[in-house]
Amino acid sequence: MRRRRKAEQHANHERWLVSYADFITLLFAFFVVMFASAQADHGNAVRVSASVKKALEEGQVKVVMAAILGGAKDEKGKGNAMLKGPGGAQPTVRKNPPPAPDLAGSLNSLRAALKLEIEGGQIQIAMDRRGLVISLREAGFFASGGDAVYPGTYSSIEKIARAIALLPSQVRLEGHTDSVPIHNSRFRNNWELSAARSIAMLELLSARFDIPPERLAVAGYADTAPVESNDSEQGRAHNRRVDIVILNERGMGPEPDAGGRR
């Protein structure tokens, strides 16, 4: 009779895990015994030794080690440590995003509170892609070629500060000039003037109106981001400004558009 050829057995390349698990088990038991031996309370040491002995005899340590090495079992009984179980990917906890600031409500409130200043041409308020932009014209808030804020305008700035305090948004203070070069005893060029006006506004908002400095940032753009053409006196007057930008989420990155944004 012909002998049936024994079916080829599939080579088990993971047999080393059994020896490795036994080694880790013994190493774990060794350190537990060393820890128990170092304890002054011999009663606790005896209890620890008894617990380890029981775990070894009942195979509980091996079960834990198998879970660590093989991963958690899926529905088919196969280990999959990369997806779940010890060492696997942890479930993602989704956090609710913070509520979006009500910039539209602030826009309406500021337009009502600053109605006289808007009608007088001192302030312009608009919403753009970066957030709520409050433009303070130079003629109403600064002397020509200077960075000191007129004290008479503090009441207007206080209304803006109140709106900022009610919102969680970051605020960017942007200084702008016209294209006419400046050179006086204080400022060498329009870059220095635009930055100095932004800093002056920051100091006023933080020191006088208690807006946290960490919510504020300053930028000086000189004449690189005009809102109107510099070819006319009216256009140049509108370009000389400090923009208080209450940023939305999108506005945390982009800079203002050169050539006007309204």
When pLDDT is cut at 50, 70 and 90, the band that residue 44 belongs to is low
Q: What is the pLDDT of residue 20?
A: 73
pTM of the model: 0.60
Q: What is the pLDDT of residue 57?
A: 61
Domains and CATH numbers, the chain: 15-93 (no CATH), 103-252 (3.30.1330.60)
Q: Which of 3-12, 207-216, 239-248, 251-260 has the lowest mean pLDDT?
A: 3-12
When pLDDT is cut at 50, 70 and 90, the band that residue 188 belongs to is very high
User: pLDDT digits over 121-153, tens only?
Assistant: 999 999 999 999 999 999 999 999 999 999 999
When pLDDT is cut at 50, 70 and 90, the band that residue 85 belongs to is very low
Q: What is the pLDDT of residue 262?
A: 45
CA 187 to chain centre: 35
Summary mean pLDDT of the chain = 79
Per DSSP bridges, beta strands 131-137 and 123-128 are: antiparallel
Nearest-angstrom CA–CA distance, 247 and 177: 21
- 246: Cβ contacts below 8 Å, ≥ 6 apart: 101, 103, 106, 131, 132, 133, 134, 163, 164, 167, 169, 171
When pLDDT is cut at 50, 70 and 90, the band that residue 250 belongs to is confident
Which residue has 């409500």 as its token pair? 105
DSSP string, 21-90: HHHHHHHHHHHHHHHHHH-S-HHHHHHHHHHHHHHHHHTHHHHHHHHHHH--B-TTS-B-TTTSSTTSPP
When pLDDT is cut at 50, 70 and 90, the band that residue 202 belongs to is very high
DSSP string, 116-176: HHHHTTSEEEEEETTEEEEEEEHHHHB-TT--PBPGGGHHHHHHHHHHHHT----EEEEEE
